Amino acid sequence: MENENLLKQISFIKEIDKIKYIQRRTKLFNSDRNENDAEHSWHLAMMAIVLAEHANEPVDVLKVLKMVLIHDIVEIDAGDTFIYDTAKDHSNTDEELIAAKRIFGMLPKEQAEEFIAIWEEFEEGKTNEAKFARSMDRFEPLLQNTSNKGGTWAELNVDYQRVYDKKKVINEGSTSIWNYSENLLNECVDKGILKK
Amino acid sequence: MENENLLKQISFIKEIDKIKYIQRRTKLFNSDRNENDAEHSWHLAMMAIVLAEHANEPVDVLKVLKMVLIHDIVEIDAGDTFIYDTAKDHSNTDEELIAAKRIFGMLPKEQAEEFIAIWEEFEEGKTNEAKFARSMDRFEPLLQNTSNKGGTWAELNVDYQRVYDKKKVINEGSTSIWNYSENLLNECVDKGILKK
Protein backbone atom coordinates (compact mmCIF):
# COMPACT_ATOMS: atom_id res chain seq x y z
CA MET A 1 0.00 0.00 0.00
CA GLU A 2 1.28 3.42 -0.91
CA ASN A 3 2.04 5.95 1.75
CA GLU A 4 -0.53 8.74 1.42
CA ASN A 5 1.74 11.45 2.83
CA LEU A 6 4.53 10.47 0.49
CA LEU A 7 2.30 10.74 -2.58
CA LYS A 8 1.18 14.25 -1.60
CA GLN A 9 4.75 15.28 -0.91
CA ILE A 10 5.96 14.00 -4.28
CA SER A 11 3.21 15.95 -6.07
CA PHE A 12 4.40 19.06 -4.26
CA ILE A 13 8.04 18.35 -5.13
CA LYS A 14 7.12 18.14 -8.82
CA GLU A 15 4.97 21.29 -8.68
CA ILE A 16 7.68 23.51 -7.20
CA ASP A 17 10.03 22.69 -10.09
CA LYS A 18 8.25 25.61 -11.79
CA ILE A 19 10.17 28.24 -9.82
CA LYS A 20 13.20 27.38 -11.97
CA TYR A 21 11.42 29.20 -14.81
CA ILE A 22 10.61 32.36 -12.85
CA GLN A 23 13.07 35.04 -13.90
CA ARG A 24 14.09 37.80 -11.53
CA ARG A 25 15.03 41.27 -12.75
CA THR A 26 18.44 40.96 -11.11
CA LYS A 27 21.36 39.41 -12.99
CA LEU A 28 23.94 36.88 -11.77
CA PHE A 29 27.29 38.26 -10.54
CA ASN A 30 29.31 39.96 -13.27
CA SER A 31 26.80 38.76 -15.82
CA ASP A 32 23.95 39.73 -18.09
CA ARG A 33 22.05 36.50 -17.41
CA ASN A 34 18.93 36.86 -15.26
CA GLU A 35 18.75 34.88 -12.04
CA ASN A 36 15.80 32.57 -11.51
CA ASP A 37 13.94 32.00 -8.25
CA ALA A 38 15.47 28.57 -7.53
CA GLU A 39 19.02 29.90 -7.94
CA HIS A 40 18.17 32.94 -5.82
CA SER A 41 16.68 30.77 -3.05
CA TRP A 42 19.71 28.48 -3.03
CA HIS A 43 22.01 31.47 -2.76
CA LEU A 44 20.06 32.98 0.14
CA ALA A 45 20.21 29.64 1.95
CA MET A 46 23.99 29.53 1.55
CA MET A 47 24.26 33.14 2.72
CA ALA A 48 22.11 32.43 5.77
CA ILE A 49 24.35 29.51 6.78
CA VAL A 50 27.58 31.40 6.16
CA LEU A 51 26.52 34.74 7.67
CA ALA A 52 24.43 33.59 10.66
CA GLU A 53 27.07 34.77 13.12
CA HIS A 54 26.33 38.36 12.04
CA ALA A 55 22.63 38.26 12.98
CA ASN A 56 21.74 40.92 15.56
CA GLU A 57 19.99 38.32 17.71
CA PRO A 58 20.61 34.56 17.87
CA VAL A 59 18.56 32.84 15.18
CA ASP A 60 17.27 29.32 14.62
CA VAL A 61 19.18 28.68 11.38
CA LEU A 62 16.92 25.79 10.34
CA LYS A 63 13.92 28.10 10.45
CA VAL A 64 15.75 30.81 8.51
CA LEU A 65 16.64 28.20 5.87
CA LYS A 66 13.04 27.08 5.57
CA MET A 67 12.01 30.72 5.11
CA VAL A 68 14.48 31.55 2.36
CA LEU A 69 14.04 28.21 0.57
CA ILE A 70 10.24 28.58 0.33
CA HIS A 71 9.77 32.37 0.24
CA ASP A 72 9.39 32.63 -3.54
CA ILE A 73 7.29 29.51 -4.16
CA VAL A 74 4.11 31.62 -4.19
CA GLU A 75 5.47 33.29 -7.34
CA ILE A 76 4.56 30.13 -9.27
CA ASP A 77 1.01 31.51 -9.24
CA ALA A 78 1.49 35.16 -8.32
CA GLY A 79 4.58 36.03 -10.41
CA ASP A 80 7.64 38.05 -9.44
CA THR A 81 6.94 41.62 -8.32
CA PHE A 82 9.96 43.83 -8.89
CA ILE A 83 10.93 45.66 -5.72
CA TYR A 84 11.12 49.09 -7.39
CA ASP A 85 7.83 48.63 -9.22
CA THR A 86 5.73 51.58 -8.09
CA ALA A 87 2.49 50.38 -9.68
CA LYS A 88 2.25 47.27 -7.53
CA ASP A 89 2.93 46.90 -3.84
CA HIS A 90 5.56 44.28 -3.08
CA SER A 91 4.01 43.40 0.26
CA ASN A 92 2.08 40.24 1.00
CA THR A 93 -0.78 40.44 -1.46
CA ASP A 94 -4.07 38.54 -1.49
CA GLU A 95 -2.85 36.89 -4.67
CA GLU A 96 0.20 35.54 -2.87
CA LEU A 97 -1.86 34.22 0.02
CA ILE A 98 -4.13 32.34 -2.38
CA ALA A 99 -1.01 30.94 -4.05
CA ALA A 100 0.45 29.88 -0.70
CA LYS A 101 -2.74 28.07 0.22
CA ARG A 102 -2.95 26.27 -3.11
CA ILE A 103 0.69 25.23 -3.41
CA PHE A 104 1.56 24.48 0.23
CA GLY A 105 -1.92 22.96 0.47
CA MET A 106 -0.72 20.10 -1.73
CA LEU A 107 1.25 18.83 1.28
CA PRO A 108 -0.16 16.74 4.15
CA LYS A 109 -2.27 18.98 6.40
CA GLU A 110 0.19 19.57 9.26
CA GLN A 111 3.06 20.26 6.90
CA ALA A 112 0.90 22.59 4.80
CA GLU A 113 0.02 24.58 7.91
CA GLU A 114 3.67 24.74 8.98
CA PHE A 115 4.79 26.02 5.55
CA ILE A 116 2.04 28.65 5.34
CA ALA A 117 2.91 29.84 8.84
CA ILE A 118 6.64 30.07 8.02
CA TRP A 119 5.91 31.95 4.81
CA GLU A 120 3.64 34.39 6.67
CA GLU A 121 6.26 34.87 9.39
CA PHE A 122 8.82 35.74 6.71
CA GLU A 123 6.43 38.19 5.02
CA GLU A 124 5.58 39.90 8.30
CA GLY A 125 9.26 40.29 9.13
CA LYS A 126 8.84 40.63 12.87
CA THR A 127 10.69 37.70 14.43
CA ASN A 128 14.49 37.45 14.63
CA GLU A 129 14.48 34.70 12.01
CA ALA A 130 12.30 36.70 9.62
CA LYS A 131 14.39 39.84 10.06
CA PHE A 132 17.59 37.95 9.29
CA ALA A 133 16.05 36.06 6.35
CA ARG A 134 14.76 39.33 4.89
CA SER A 135 18.17 40.94 5.26
CA MET A 136 19.64 38.13 3.14
CA ASP A 137 16.92 38.73 0.52
CA ARG A 138 17.94 42.41 0.26
CA PHE A 139 21.69 41.85 0.50
CA GLU A 140 22.08 39.39 -2.40
CA PRO A 141 20.78 41.76 -5.15
CA LEU A 142 22.80 44.62 -3.62
CA LEU A 143 25.97 42.57 -4.15
CA GLN A 144 24.81 41.53 -7.62
CA ASN A 145 23.95 45.05 -8.80
CA THR A 146 27.26 46.34 -7.46
CA SER A 147 29.08 43.68 -9.48
CA ASN A 148 27.09 44.66 -12.59
CA LYS A 149 27.85 48.40 -12.74
CA GLY A 150 24.56 49.25 -11.09
CA GLY A 151 22.54 46.44 -12.66
CA THR A 152 18.80 47.00 -12.26
CA TRP A 153 19.38 50.36 -10.52
CA ALA A 154 21.11 51.73 -13.61
CA GLU A 155 18.78 49.93 -16.01
CA LEU A 156 15.64 51.37 -14.38
CA ASN A 157 17.01 54.70 -13.19
CA VAL A 158 16.58 53.98 -9.49
CA ASP A 159 18.46 56.59 -7.45
CA TYR A 160 20.46 56.28 -4.25
CA GLN A 161 17.66 57.33 -1.92
CA ARG A 162 15.19 54.72 -3.22
CA VAL A 163 17.82 52.01 -3.01
CA TYR A 164 18.81 53.15 0.48
CA ASP A 165 15.18 53.12 1.65
CA LYS A 166 14.66 49.55 0.43
CA LYS A 167 17.99 48.27 1.73
CA LYS A 168 18.05 49.81 5.21
CA VAL A 169 15.84 46.95 6.43
CA ILE A 170 19.08 44.90 6.34
CA ASN A 171 19.94 46.72 9.56
CA GLU A 172 17.07 44.99 11.36
CA GLY A 173 18.65 41.60 10.65
CA SER A 174 22.31 42.48 10.92
CA THR A 175 23.99 45.76 11.77
CA SER A 176 27.41 44.58 10.63
CA ILE A 177 26.05 43.54 7.22
CA TRP A 178 24.20 46.86 7.01
CA ASN A 179 27.40 48.80 7.77
CA TYR A 180 29.12 46.90 4.97
CA SER A 181 26.14 47.57 2.66
CA GLU A 182 26.04 51.28 3.40
CA ASN A 183 29.74 51.58 2.57
CA LEU A 184 29.13 49.68 -0.64
CA LEU A 185 26.28 52.01 -1.63
CA ASN A 186 28.49 55.03 -1.01
CA GLU A 187 31.23 53.49 -3.13
CA CYS A 188 28.65 52.95 -5.88
CA VAL A 189 27.80 56.66 -5.75
CA ASP A 190 31.50 57.58 -5.87
CA LYS A 191 32.00 55.33 -8.89
CA GLY A 192 28.98 56.89 -10.60
CA ILE A 193 27.01 53.64 -10.86
CA LEU A 194 24.32 54.89 -8.44
CA LYS A 195 22.95 58.42 -8.78
CA LYS A 196 22.48 60.60 -5.71
CA MET B 1 36.87 48.96 10.71
CA GLU B 2 35.79 46.13 8.47
CA ASN B 3 34.95 42.75 9.92
CA GLU B 4 37.58 40.31 8.62
CA ASN B 5 35.28 37.26 8.76
CA LEU B 6 32.56 39.10 6.87
CA LEU B 7 34.92 40.03 4.04
CA LYS B 8 36.05 36.42 3.63
CA GLN B 9 32.45 35.21 3.71
CA ILE B 10 31.37 37.72 1.06
CA SER B 11 34.21 36.59 -1.23
CA PHE B 12 32.97 33.01 -0.82
CA ILE B 13 29.36 34.06 -1.50
CA LYS B 14 30.43 35.69 -4.78
CA GLU B 15 32.59 32.71 -5.78
CA ILE B 16 29.84 30.11 -5.39
CA ASP B 17 27.59 32.01 -7.83
CA LYS B 18 29.48 29.96 -10.45
CA ILE B 19 27.51 26.79 -9.74
CA LYS B 20 24.57 28.44 -11.52
CA TYR B 21 26.47 27.86 -14.77
CA ILE B 22 27.22 24.17 -14.16
CA GLN B 23 24.82 22.14 -16.26
CA ARG B 24 23.75 18.67 -15.20
CA ARG B 25 22.88 15.98 -17.71
CA THR B 26 19.40 15.64 -16.22
CA LYS B 27 16.55 17.83 -17.46
CA LEU B 28 13.89 19.70 -15.47
CA PHE B 29 10.51 17.99 -15.01
CA ASN B 30 8.62 17.49 -18.28
CA SER B 31 11.22 19.58 -20.03
CA ASP B 32 14.18 19.53 -22.39
CA ARG B 33 16.01 22.23 -20.44
CA ASN B 34 19.05 21.03 -18.46
CA GLU B 35 19.08 21.61 -14.73
CA ASN B 36 21.99 23.50 -13.21
CA ASP B 37 23.70 22.73 -9.91
CA ALA B 38 22.12 25.62 -7.98
CA GLU B 39 18.59 24.60 -9.02
CA HIS B 40 19.38 20.97 -8.21
CA SER B 41 20.75 21.87 -4.77
CA TRP B 42 17.69 24.01 -3.97
CA HIS B 43 15.39 21.16 -4.99
CA LEU B 44 17.25 18.62 -2.83
CA ALA B 45 16.99 21.00 0.13
CA MET B 46 13.23 21.29 -0.35
CA MET B 47 12.94 17.51 -0.69
CA ALA B 48 14.96 16.95 2.48
CA ILE B 49 12.67 19.27 4.46
CA VAL B 50 9.48 17.80 3.02
CA LEU B 51 10.50 14.13 3.16
CA ALA B 52 12.47 14.01 6.43
CA GLU B 53 9.73 11.97 8.15
CA HIS B 54 10.54 9.08 5.78
CA ALA B 55 14.20 8.77 6.84
CA ASN B 56 15.02 5.32 8.21
CA GLU B 57 16.65 6.85 11.27
CA PRO B 58 16.00 10.26 12.85
CA VAL B 59 18.14 12.89 11.13
CA ASP B 60 19.43 16.34 12.04
CA VAL B 61 17.64 18.21 9.23
CA LEU B 62 19.91 21.25 9.48
CA LYS B 63 22.94 19.06 8.82
CA VAL B 64 21.20 17.33 5.90
CA LEU B 65 20.40 20.77 4.45
CA LYS B 66 24.00 21.89 4.75
CA MET B 67 25.07 18.70 2.95
CA VAL B 68 22.72 19.04 0.00
CA LEU B 69 23.22 22.80 -0.34
CA ILE B 70 27.03 22.53 -0.54
CA HIS B 71 27.53 19.06 -2.08
CA ASP B 72 28.07 20.29 -5.64
CA ILE B 73 30.17 23.39 -4.91
CA VAL B 74 33.36 21.42 -5.62
CA GLU B 75 32.16 21.13 -9.23
CA ILE B 76 33.12 24.79 -9.75
CA ASP B 77 36.69 23.48 -10.11
CA ALA B 78 36.21 19.75 -10.70
CA GLY B 79 33.21 19.79 -13.08
CA ASP B 80 30.12 17.56 -13.09
CA THR B 81 30.81 13.84 -13.44
CA PHE B 82 27.84 12.04 -14.93
CA ILE B 83 26.76 9.12 -12.76
CA TYR B 84 26.67 6.63 -15.65
CA ASP B 85 30.03 7.74 -17.03
CA THR B 86 32.13 4.55 -17.04
CA ALA B 87 35.42 6.25 -17.90
CA LYS B 88 35.56 8.30 -14.72
CA ASP B 89 34.72 7.20 -11.21
CA HIS B 90 32.02 9.31 -9.58
CA SER B 91 33.43 8.82 -6.10
CA ASN B 92 35.27 11.45 -4.13
CA THR B 93 38.25 12.22 -6.35
CA ASP B 94 41.50 13.94 -5.51
CA GLU B 95 40.41 16.71 -7.83
CA GLU B 96 37.27 17.27 -5.78
CA LEU B 97 39.20 17.35 -2.51
CA ILE B 98 41.54 19.99 -3.91
CA ALA B 99 38.48 21.95 -5.02
CA ALA B 100 36.86 21.64 -1.58
CA LYS B 101 40.01 22.93 0.09
CA ARG B 102 40.32 25.87 -2.28
CA ILE B 103 36.69 26.98 -2.28
CA PHE B 104 35.67 26.27 1.32
CA GLY B 105 39.12 27.53 2.27
CA MET B 106 37.98 31.05 1.30
CA LEU B 107 35.89 31.06 4.49
CA PRO B 108 37.18 31.86 7.99
CA LYS B 109 39.22 28.90 9.31
CA GLU B 110 36.64 27.26 11.60
CA GLN B 111 33.87 27.57 9.04
CA ALA B 112 36.12 26.22 6.28
CA GLU B 113 36.90 23.18 8.41
CA GLU B 114 33.21 22.62 9.18
CA PHE B 115 32.24 22.79 5.48
CA ILE B 116 35.02 20.44 4.37
CA ALA B 117 34.01 17.97 7.10
CA ILE B 118 30.33 18.12 6.10
CA TRP B 119 31.18 17.63 2.43
CA GLU B 120 33.41 14.64 3.30
CA GLU B 121 30.69 13.16 5.51
CA PHE B 122 28.24 13.42 2.60
CA GLU B 123 30.70 11.81 0.19
CA GLU B 124 31.45 8.95 2.58
CA GLY B 125 27.73 8.30 3.04
CA LYS B 126 28.01 6.51 6.37
CA THR B 127 26.07 8.64 8.87
CA ASN B 128 22.26 8.81 8.99
CA GLU B 129 22.35 12.37 7.64
CA ALA B 130 24.66 11.45 4.76
CA LYS B 131 22.56 8.39 3.87
CA PHE B 132 19.39 10.46 3.76
CA ALA B 133 21.03 13.34 1.85
CA ARG B 134 22.41 10.89 -0.71
CA SER B 135 19.00 9.27 -1.13
CA MET B 136 17.59 12.72 -2.06
CA ASP B 137 20.41 13.16 -4.59
CA ARG B 138 19.44 9.89 -6.30
CA PHE B 139 15.69 10.33 -6.02
CA GLU B 140 15.39 13.73 -7.75
CA PRO B 141 16.83 12.60 -11.15
CA LEU B 142 14.77 9.40 -10.93
CA LEU B 143 11.61 11.52 -10.75
CA GLN B 144 12.90 13.82 -13.50
CA ASN B 145 13.84 11.02 -15.91
CA THR B 146 10.49 9.34 -15.32
CA SER B 147 8.71 12.60 -16.22
CA ASN B 148 10.85 12.89 -19.37
CA LYS B 149 10.12 9.50 -20.99
CA GLY B 150 13.34 8.04 -19.68
CA GLY B 151 15.41 11.23 -19.95
CA THR B 152 19.13 10.53 -19.65
CA TRP B 153 18.52 6.75 -19.37
CA ALA B 154 16.93 6.71 -22.82
CA GLU B 155 19.34 9.28 -24.24
CA LEU B 156 22.40 7.31 -23.17
CA ASN B 157 21.02 3.79 -23.41
CA VAL B 158 21.29 3.00 -19.73
CA ASP B 159 19.36 -0.18 -18.94
CA TYR B 160 17.22 -1.12 -15.94
CA GLN B 161 19.96 -3.02 -14.10
CA ARG B 162 22.44 -0.14 -14.18
CA VAL B 163 19.78 2.31 -13.05
CA TYR B 164 18.65 -0.10 -10.33
CA ASP B 165 22.23 -0.56 -9.08
CA LYS B 166 22.78 3.21 -8.80
CA LYS B 167 19.38 3.90 -7.24
CA LYS B 168 19.20 1.14 -4.63
CA VAL B 169 21.33 3.27 -2.31
CA ILE B 170 18.08 5.23 -1.72
CA ASN B 171 17.10 2.29 0.50
CA GLU B 172 19.89 3.16 2.94
CA GLY B 173 18.31 6.57 3.56
CA SER B 174 14.64 5.69 3.31
CA THR B 175 12.97 2.36 2.74
CA SER B 176 9.59 3.92 2.01
CA ILE B 177 11.06 6.20 -0.68
CA TRP B 178 12.96 3.20 -2.07
CA ASN B 179 9.75 1.15 -2.25
CA TYR B 180 8.12 4.00 -4.16
CA SER B 181 11.19 4.27 -6.43
CA GLU B 182 11.30 0.57 -7.19
CA ASN B 183 7.64 0.64 -8.22
CA LEU B 184 8.35 3.63 -10.42
CA LEU B 185 11.27 1.85 -12.11
CA ASN B 186 9.05 -1.16 -12.80
CA GLU B 187 6.39 1.11 -14.27
CA CYS B 188 9.07 2.66 -16.50
CA VAL B 189 9.97 -0.82 -17.76
CA ASP B 190 6.27 -1.59 -18.40
CA LYS B 191 5.90 1.67 -20.32
CA GLY B 192 8.99 0.85 -22.38
CA ILE B 193 10.93 3.95 -21.27
CA LEU B 194 13.52 1.82 -19.43
CA LYS B 195 14.94 -1.34 -21.05
CA LYS B 196 15.30 -4.53 -19.05
> Which whole number is the average pLDDT over A142-152?
95
pLDDT surpasses 70 at A87? no
Q: Do A43 and B16 touch (CB under 8 A)?
A: yes
Residue B27 lies in a domain: no
- A147 touching B (Cβ < 8 Å): yes
On whether residue A157 sits in a domain, the answer given is yes
Say if residues A158 and A84 touch (Cβ distance below 8 Å).
Answer: yes
Beta-carbon separation of B28 and A41 below 8 A: no
In a domain, A27, yes or no: no
Is residue B195 assigned to a domain? no
Which residue from A112, A116, A100, A107 is spatially nearest to A8, judged by alpha carbons?
Answer: A107
> Could you tell me how many CB contacts below 8 A there are between chain A and chain B?
106
What percent of chain A shows pLDDT beyond 70? 95
- Residues of A with Cβ-Cβ distance to B39 under 8 angstroms: 20, 36, 38-39, 42
B176–A contact, CB cutoff 8 A: yes
**pLDDT over 90, % of chain A:** 88
Alpha-carbon distances, residue A75 vs A22, A93, A99, B27, B50 (angstroms): 8, 11, 8, 22, 19
**Cβ <8 Å between A50 and B6:** no
Would you call B50 an interface residue with chain A, using a CB distance cutoff of 8 Å? yes
In a domain, A29, yes or no: no
Average pLDDT of span A103-123 = 97
Q: Identify the pLDDT of residue B88.
A: 59
Residue B39's pLDDT is 98
C-beta separation of B189 from B183 below 8 A: no
pLDDT over 50 at B1, yes or no = no
Is B137 within a domain?
yes
Domain membership of residue A48 as a residue range: 2-22+34-190
The pLDDT tens digits of the residues spanning B2-36 come to 489 999 999 999 999 999 999 999 999 999 999 99
The reply to whether B60 falls in a domain is: yes
Which of B2, B31, B39, B176 to probe by mutation at the A interface, max A CB count within 10 Å? B39
Give B141's pLDDT tier (boundaries 50, 70, 90).
very high
B43-99: pLDDT as tens digits = 999 999 999 999 999 999 999 999 999 999 999 998 877 777 666 555 557 899 999
DSSP secondary structure string for all residues of B94-108: HHHHHHHHHHHTTS-
> Residue B131 falls within a domain, yes or no?
yes
Split at pLDDT 50, 70, 90, the class of A42 is very high
Disruptive mutation site among A43, A72, A145 for chain B (greatest number of B CBs within 10 Å)? A43
Q: B165 CA to chain A: closest CA distance, Å? A: 22
Interchain contact, A29 vs B17, CB within 8 Å = yes
Q: What is the CATH number of the domain that holds B53?
A: 1.10.3210.10
Interface mutation vs chain B, best among A17, A24, A135, most B CBs within 10 Å: A17
Strand B34-36 and strand A23-27: the pairing is unpaired
- DSSP state letter for A106: T
Q: Which of A6, A39, A41 sits opposite B176 (nearest CB)?
A: A6
Strands (E), chain A: 23-27, 34-36
What local confidence, expressed as pLDDT, does residue A1 receive?
35
